[in-house]
Amino acid sequence: MTYQNIIIIIIAYLLGAIPSSVWIGKIFFNKDIRKYGSKNAGATNAIRVLGPKAGIPVLIIDIFKGWLAVNLVFFIKNNFVPNTDAFIDFQIILAISALIGHIFPVYVGFKGGKGVATLLGIAIALYPYAIIVIIGIFIIIFIITKYISLSSVISAIAFPFIVIFIFNSKSNHWLIIFSIATAVFVLITHRKNIRRLVKGEETKFKFKKEI
């Protein structure tokens, strides 16, 4: 682990920590999104509280910062050969750093979002083919149920199975482990949503402001 690698890891964290929903809410709407709606600093709550004109840019930024953090590995000279195990291992380290940044952002008191959009950006970078299937599953479940949380949970559960059995069964073992960890992470961060779904209390998603 060189100084250059450590600096890149820190940059990945700082990228992931960019609180797009909080900053957009405060700058353009004079609202701290963490005090409204689900009180989550994520794209879904941004759309609910601030509307699609604010929420969609938040979604795009959160996805992009996850993707960009993973691809910071390309800025390291002479250390890694693309698509080797060492290269992929370091990409996963960057992914974890960015995800920690999103959940615990240094810029706004370490109170961030659940990280689903950032995870999507990470997955696009690490699993470009598998993620196409996952997005398809998410869209189908959402169209049928109108529940973002249920769509996220089912997609997360399906993710490691798709990675292991369809696309990456013989690839880097850390990619497989990270796909499983991603599913577990989404289940943990959505445990309150899951309880509300079981009780029939979860709110269906609508593309309009709530307040």
- pLDDT, tens digit, 9 for 90 and up, residues 165-188: 888 655 678 899 999 999 999 999
Check pLDDT > 80 for residue 190. yes
Rounded Cα distance, 134 and 107, in Å:
31
Region 3-18: mean pLDDT is 94
Rounded Cα distance, 6 and 173, in Å:
23
**CA separation, residue 95 to residues 16, 104, 115, 134 (Å):** 9, 14, 11, 18
Phi, psi of 103, rounded to the nearest 5 degrees: -75, -35
- pLDDT band of 80, cuts 50, 70, 90: confident
Mean pLDDT of the chain: 90
Rounded Cα distance, 20 and 143, in Å:
26
Percent of the chain residues topping a pLDDT of 70: 94
Helical residues (DSSP H) of 17-75, grouped into ranges: 20-29, 43-50, 52-70
Region 182-210: mean pLDDT is 86
